[in-house]
Structure 1
Amino acid sequence: MTHYIYLVRHGEHQDAEYGLVDGPLSPRGRRQAAALADRLSGLAFDAVWHSPLERASQTARAVAERMPSVSPQPSALLFDCVPTGMTDDTPPAFEPFFGSITEAEIDAGRAQMADAVSEYLVRKNGEVHELLITHNFVIAWFVREVLQAPDWRWMTLNQAHCGLTVIAQKQGRPWTLLSHNDLTHLPKELQTGLPDPQPV
Structure 2
Amino acid sequence: MATRHLYVVRHGAADPFGELTEAGARQSELLADRLARLPVDAVWHSPLPRAERCAHIIGARLPGVPVRAADELLDHVPHVPEDPPPAWAGFFDGYDRAEADDGRRRADALVERFACPAPAEAFEVLVTHAYQVAWLVRHALGAPVERWLELGCGNTALTAIEYRDGAAPALLLYNDMGHLPADLRWTGFGPGVRP
Common fold: TM-score over 0.5: yes
Relative to structure 2, which stretch is displaced further, 78-87 or 135-144? Answer: 78-87
Amino acid of the residue matched to residue 53 of structure 2?
Answer: Q
1:124 aligns with 2:118: yes
8 Å CA contact 2:116–2:164 kept in 1: the answer is no
Alignment of 1:167 onto 2:170: no
Gap regions ≥5 residues in structure 2: none
**Following the alignment from structure 2 to structure 1, what is the Cα–Cα distance between the partners of residues 69 and 102?**
18
TM-score, length basis structure 1 = 0.89
How many angstroms apart in 2 are the aligned matches of 1:27 and 1:100?
A: 34
Tell me what 1:4 maps to: 5
User: Quick check: 1:92 aligned with 2:86?
Assistant: yes
* Corresponding residue of 1:38: 33
CA distance in 2, matches of 1:136, 1:125: 27
**Shift in Å, 1:55:** 0.1
* Aligned with 2:24 (options 29, 33, 36): 29
Work out the percentage of aligned pairs sharing the same amino acid.
39
Letter in 2 for 1:8: V
Aligned-residue offset at 1:105: 2.5
1:51 aligned residue (26, 46, 65): 46
Larger mean Cα displacement after TM superposition, 151-160 or 162-171: 162-171
Q: Are positions 1:104 and 2:98 aligned together?
A: yes
1:148 is aligned to 2:149: no
Superposition map of 1:183-194 within 5 A:
183-191=177-185, 192-194=187-189
- Structure 1 unmatched ranges of 5 or more: none
Instruction: Name the SS for the 2:175 alignment partner.
Output: strand
Alignment-derived partner of residue 77 in structure 2: 82
Q: CA deviation at 1:11?
A: 0.4
Please list the CA deviations of residues 6-38 of structure 1 after superposition, one character each: whole Å capped at 9, or x if unmatched. 1000001111xxxx2x2x211111110111111
Which residue identity is paired with 1:165? T
In the alignment of these two chains, the number of paired residues is 191
CA distance in 2, matches of 1:12, 1:103: 31
